[in-house]
Amino acid sequence: MPGKPGRFCPHCGGVVTGARCPCRGPVTTSHADSRLSSTQRGYGYDWQQYRKEFYKYPRPCACGCGLMATLENGDVDHRIPVQGRDDPLFWDKSNHQALIHGHHSRKTQIYDRARRGGVSNLYKSSNVDRAEWSRAHTREITDGGIK
């Protein structure tokens, strides 16, 4: 019995019989694949316990959206991004705020892109000052940048 019929590649027009056309080259590793695990970044058992205590009661999302962040849907965000567990701001409670998971992901994505020198609506430089980033992020949230 014959296999699945080929399809046309939208890039080169050739017939593709496998999952990926050879004209597209090899699959590259994404940023997520090369990232350290959460435990390796300092978010191990101690952080999990702290997070449970932090969300003992629902907290309003710090972006001002009006939603309540809970243990199930929220993340403990570092207002000023930290550089790992040894950073003095890692355990500083005044540097923590509640964010809904999707809002935290968006904030982290913007910061990571800026650090890597990628295109960001906040920065064009890879040399990002953490305190300045936090001030700019607050402006972005206030202006409705995170939905």
pLDDT for 76-85, tens place per residue? 999 998 888 8
What pLDDT does residue 125 have?
A: 40
Number of separate domains in the chain: 1
Return the closest-CA partner of residue 146 out of 32, 55, 67: 67
Residue 63 token pair = 């972006």
pLDDT at res. 9: 82
For residue 45, which phi and psi values (nearest 5 degrees)? -60, -45
With respect to residue 52, please indicate whether it lies within any of the assigned structural domains.
Answer: yes
What's the pTM value of the predicted model, to 2 decimals? 0.61
For residue 31, being part of any structural domain is answered with: no
Find the range with the poorest average confidence among 79-83, 115-119, 121-125: 121-125
82's CB contacts (< 8 A; 6+ apart) are 89, 90, 95
Q: Quick one: 136 exposed, middle or buried, by C-beta within 10 A (0-12, 13-18, 19+)?
A: buried
Does 22 fall in a domain?
no
146: pLDDT strictly greater than 50? no
Residue 48 forms part of a structural domain: yes
| pLDDT at position 4 | 74
Give strand pairing partners of 77: 97
Range of the domain at 116: 41-142
pLDDT digits (tens, 9 = 90+) for 93-109: 999 999 999 999 999 88
Q: Which of 11-15, 27-31, 56-60 has the lowest mean pLDDT?
A: 27-31
- Residue (of 64, 129, 53, 88) closest to 76 by Cα position: 53
pLDDT value at 35 more than 80: no
Evaluate whether residue 26 is within a structural domain: no
- Is residue 108 within a helix (H) or strand (E), and if so which, with residue range? helix 101-116
- In this prediction, residue 59 carries a pLDDT of 96
Q: Tell me if 28 is assigned to some domain.
A: no
